[in-house]
Amino acid sequence: MQERIVITGMGIISAIGNTVEENYNALLSGQSGVGELTLFESIHRETIKVGQVKKTTEQLIAELELSSDNNYTRTALLGAYAAKEAIANAGIRDINDRKTGLISSTSVGGMDYTEKYFFEYETTEASRKYIDAQGAGDSTDKIADYIGLKGFVTTISTACSSAANAVMMGARLLKAGKLDRVIVGGTDALSKFTVNGFNTLMILTDGYNTPFDQNRKGLNLGEAAAYLVLECEDIAIADGRTILGVVSGYANANDAYHQTASSENGEGAYLAMQKALKMANLSSNQVDYVNAHGTATPNNDLSEGRAMQRIFTDQMPLFSSTKPYTGHTLAAAGAIEAVYSLLAIQHGVVFPNKNFVTPMEELSIRPQTTLVHKEINTVLSNSFGFGGNCSTVIFSKF
Amino acid sequence: MKVYINGLGSVSCQEGTRNFKSADLTKVSQGLNQATQPSYKDLIPAGMLRRMAKGVKMGIYASHSALEEANITVPDAVITGTGLGCLIDSEKFLCAMLENNESYLTPTSFIQSTHNTVGGQIALQLQCMGYNFTYVHQNTSFESALLDALLQVQAGELDNALIGGVDEIGDMTMHFLQLAKKINTTDEVFTKGVNYGEGATFMVLENRLTAQSYAEVVDTDISNRIDSVPDYIKTFLARQSLTPNQIEVLVVGSNQTANDGTYYSEAQNICSNSVVETFKEFSGEYHTASAFGLLNACEMLKYQQLFSTGESKSIEYILVYNQFDGKDHSLTLLKKC
């Protein structure tokens, strides 16, 4: 049997907390982080709500003890903050004492600073240090430098499935023996660019997002970063790590239907779930909880809902979307929800799908709306993105 | 399992999609160099063509060319790399947003600004429902895609994969990089200034040796920073029980500027039996330009002929080494097949 890929550390910063523990407590108490947009000026401030991290950029810089001439964008700062917690949580003292890689993901990259200084670059030399920070890879570079990692470093950007894909590539590199351990995840800061982009697509709600509800009106954007430390089982054991769970299956498929919309029967999502279950060697009735993508856009929830009904037929496990807590954190979402999936396994709990009132006419399945304590051995986590990108990762108890 | 490159295609500053001989090519000019656009009308319906991002068009063209040569209709996977994605649309949306105070915006350029647009559009065109990843890590974006595909074909998870690197010139971003003295202007050459290009280079990796096969991809590696070039190369080759003196051709991503540091000369010193070949004087620098270098390496192996001089040479191994300003190092080892 092939060596298992295990999770030995995790770190997160989101609208509901700056640590894993704070996130867990907010999920238990049902406290949402979605609220007013105060991070930057926008004409949409009155009409939309977002999931902001409760730290200013200045606070993040101070807490990470960066020099004043740094050119970290907010995306890089959030990433470094969460990666630091993941490494500490795993108990890694020297990042380079094993062959370690970093696979981060982002959709917005340094756009939050580019949009701030775009018209200043011409006249203000001091702002030019951010010109190079726009590229998505720059945020990963900054995180690697911050944690002192030398070696395999790359970045994935497949829109809202990015971080799930980072988990997959990380697991692949470990299985191939290219690395001993790998830090995988994603980071995305809120930006005016994404707020306006999603606004033109008319998929932002003016209220609080209500996944899988008949009257859902769209998503709330959020910002966050989360990272997992993945290791080969034998190395994790040899290093005396606490093992939080196993990456038991994963798959990526393309819906090949439309650049931004999902197909009506969720073919891509269906294929991703089916292939991931096959890799995990699990039948669908062995899944205890599905952490759905559940963005609360009319299109996603219908497509994903239908795909889940096709996969699980009449034995739908408990499922919920945790986006009412954090907002949709785009490229980071797959990593945020990986942390939540592992918390579900660790504590034996299913987090409720907040804000759900009316079942969807097209679906026979209903999300879990109250907190449930029960043994959770296997969680299936979905992440879907523009470009038809559909990803599923399955986490199991060690 | 062995992995072969069975199809190539590119859109670059040069004419033609492949089969490049240095004597027939034009060196890029000082400053910015747009890619020579082929005729897209046979490939893409006119209605779509108008709205389509340049990167998407170049990607569709180059991938079509590579797939056709490999005789594959729908690949098992589409894996792309890009430094900045469809930059022109990103700038368009950003400018419109800033100039019109967030009003009167339309979604087209926002949608195309998403980094995985090229990969997504190729899948949509081909109706390819397989694995679809996009890497966006500066100067190792393409090599990340190459490594991903290589591991999956080696492991038998895929029979073949379409991989590619694509980047486009965005006027405003490049202008800012000129202000920052990172890209030369037509009037001025900066110490660390490069001549910039754009393009798309696609390849088909496959588990079968065919009449079309260019080369075997033996291994590839990326590293954000390295301590020593000789050690990096020696360790990489040792994984295949090879030594640097077995490399007959060393392809380096040199810009002949201060960004080169001593990296390429150190590589040249350790690969003491190698002929050194360069390519960025024909492609220009951009985040995925190294894919153009790999394309040249493939042709040198297949035709057993040097790119620079056209001279015949018996070549067993080619090593491609790229880095940029001391960061994002990559090595790719190709073998004659």
- Flag whether residue B182 sits within 8 Å of chain A, measured between CB atoms: yes
Helix axes B141-154, A162-175, angle to 10 degrees: 50
Average pLDDT over residues B174-190: 96
A84-94 pLDDT per residue, tens: 999 999 999 99
Which residue in A has a C-alpha nearest to residue B107's C-alpha?
Answer: A200
Q: Which of residues B154, B184, B206 is at a domain's end?
A: B206
Work out the pLDDT band at A328, boundaries 50, 70, 90.
very high
Chain A residue numbers with beta carbons less than 8 Å from the beta carbon of B327 are 141
Chain A residue numbers with beta carbons less than 8 Å from the beta carbon of B173 are 131, 134
Interface test with A, best of B3, B115, B152 (most A CBs within 10 A): B115
pLDDT for A357 beyond 50? yes
Q: In this predicted structure, what is the pLDDT of residue B198?
A: 98
pLDDT for B187 beyond 60? yes
Residue among A151, A175, A254 minimizing CB distance to B128: A254
- Flag whether residue B235 sits within 8 Å of chain A, measured between CB atoms: no
Do B184 and B231 lie in one domain? The reply is no
Residue among A135, A169, A268 minimizing CB distance to B129: A268
Angstrom distance (rounded) from CA B268 to CA A4: 41
Average pLDDT over residues A2-8: 90
**How do beta strands A50-51 and A34-35 pair?**
antiparallel
**Is B270 inside a domain boundary?**
yes
Q: In this predicted structure, what is the pLDDT of residue B243?
A: 98
- Record: contact A196-B110, CB cut-off 8 A: yes
In three-state secondary structure terms, A256 is coil
In three-state secondary structure terms, B106 is coil
Work out the pLDDT band at B251, boundaries 50, 70, 90.
very high
- Record: contact B119-A136, CB cut-off 8 A: no
A247-296 pLDDT per residue, tens: 999 999 999 999 899 999 999 999 999 999 999 999 999 999 999 999 99
Answer whether A280's CB lies under 8 Å from A311's CB: no
In three-state secondary structure terms, B67 is helix
Q: Which of residues B150, B179, B206 is at a domain's end?
A: B206
Q: With CA atoms as reference, report the closest residue to A164 among A365, A392, A395.
A: A392
B212-222 pLDDT per residue, tens: 999 999 999 99
Chain B window 195-234: which residues touch A at a Cβ cutoff of 8 Å?
221-227
Angstrom distance (rounded) from CA A22 to CA B104: 40
pTM of the model: 0.98
Mean pLDDT (chain A, rounded)? 97
Chain B residue numbers with beta carbons less than 8 Å from the beta carbon of A142 are none
* Complex ipTM value: 0.97
Amino acid making up residue A330? L
- Flag whether residue B31 sits within 8 Å of chain A, measured between CB atoms: no
**Is B212 inside a domain boundary?**
no
**How do beta strands A372-373 and A50-51 pair?**
unpaired
Q: What are the phi and psi torsion angles at B317 (to 5°)?
A: -125, 140
- Record: contact A200-B107, CB cut-off 8 A: yes
In three-state secondary structure terms, B328 is strand
A235-251 pLDDT per residue, tens: 999 999 999 999 999 99
Average pLDDT over residues B278-291: 98
Mean pLDDT (chain B, rounded)? 97
Which residue in B has a C-alpha nearest to residue A385's C-alpha?
Answer: B116
Separation of first and last alpha carbons in chain A: 15
Q: What are the phi and psi torsion angles at A272 (to 5°)?
A: -65, -45
**Is B18 inside a domain boundary?**
yes
Average pLDDT over residues A107-128: 92
Chain B window 77-136: which residues touch A at a Cβ cutoff of 8 Å?
78, 83-85, 90, 93-95, 97-98, 101-103, 105-107, 110-111, 113-117, 119-121, 123-124, 126-136
pLDDT for B19 beyond 70? yes
Which residue in B has a C-alpha nearest to residue A144's C-alpha?
Answer: B224
- Record: contact B227-A150, CB cut-off 8 A: yes
- Record: contact A157-B94, CB cut-off 8 A: no
Separation of first and last alpha carbons in chain B: 14
Average pLDDT over residues B41-64: 95
Q: In this predicted structure, what is the pLDDT of residue A3?
A: 81
Interface test with A, best of B138, B181, B235 (most A CBs within 10 A): B138
Reading the block at residue A215, the tokens are 């009257």
- Record: contact A256-B135, CB cut-off 8 A: no
Angstrom distance (rounded) from CA B298 to CA B318: 9
Chain A residue numbers with beta carbons less than 8 Å from the beta carbon of B98 are 115, 118-119
Q: With CA atoms as reference, report the closest residue to B255 among B301, B304, B207, B290.
A: B290
Angstrom distance (rounded) from CA A15 to CA A17: 6
Average pLDDT over residues A7-12: 98
**How do beta strands B199-206 and B327-335 pair?**
unpaired
- Record: contact A156-B97, CB cut-off 8 A: no
Residue among A158, A193, A260 minimizing CB distance to B134: A158
Do B244 and B101 lie in one domain? The reply is no
Counting beta carbons within 10 angstroms of the beta carbon of residue A387, is it exposed (0 to 12), middle (13 to 18) or buried (19 or more)? Answer: buried
Tell me if the domain spanning A247-396 has CATH number 3.40.47.10. yes
- Record: contact B105-A196, CB cut-off 8 A: yes
- Record: contact A256-B127, CB cut-off 8 A: yes
Q: In this predicted structure, what is the pLDDT of residue A327?
A: 98
**How do beta strands A5-13 and A224-232 pair?**
antiparallel
In total, the C-beta contacts within 8 angstroms joining chain A to chain B are 199
CA distance A259 to chain B (A): 7
Average pLDDT over residues A312-320: 97
Q: In this predicted structure, what is the pLDDT of residue A239?
A: 96
Do B223 and B141 lie in one domain? The reply is no
Do B27 and B143 lie in one domain? The reply is yes
Angstrom distance (rounded) from CA A254 to CA A272: 8
**Is B213 inside a domain boundary?**
no
Do B145 and B255 lie in one domain? The reply is no
- Record: contact B179-A268, CB cut-off 8 A: no
pLDDT for A1 beyond 60? no
- Flag whether residue B192 sits within 8 Å of chain A, measured between CB atoms: no
Work out the pLDDT band at B27, boundaries 50, 70, 90.
very high
- Flag whether residue B181 sits within 8 Å of chain A, measured between CB atoms: no
Work out the pLDDT band at B231, boundaries 50, 70, 90.
very high
Do B192 and B294 lie in one domain? The reply is no
Q: With CA atoms as reference, report the closest residue to B63 among B198, B159, B200, B199.
A: B200
**Is B214 inside a domain boundary?**
no
Q: Could you tell me which CATH number the domain at A7-238 has?
A: 3.40.47.10
Residue among A115, A385, A386 minimizing CB distance to B94: A115
- Using alpha carbons, list the distances in angstroms from residue A21 to A397, B84, B162, B308, B326: 19, 36, 42, 60, 39
Do B177 and B261 lie in one domain? The reply is no
Average pLDDT over residues B212-237: 98
- Flag whether residue B160 sits within 8 Å of chain A, measured between CB atoms: no
Q: In this predicted structure, what is the pLDDT of residue B232?
A: 98
**Residues pairing with A154 in the sheet:** A103
Which residue in B has a C-alpha nearest to residue A176's C-alpha?
Answer: B151
- The total domain count for chain B is 2
A41-60 pLDDT per residue, tens: 999 999 999 999 999 999 99
CA distance B315 to chain A (A): 28
Residues of chain A with CATH 3.40.47.10: 7-238, 247-396
Q: Which domain holds residue B295?
A: 219-335
Work out the pLDDT band at A2, boundaries 50, 70, 90.
low
Angstrom distance (rounded) from CA B303 to CA B295: 12
pLDDT for B223 beyond 50? yes
Do B52 and B194 lie in one domain? The reply is yes
Q: Which of residues B206, B239, B267 is at a domain's end?
A: B206
Which domain CATH number covers B53? 3.40.47.10
Angstrom distance (rounded) from CA B40 to CA B59: 11
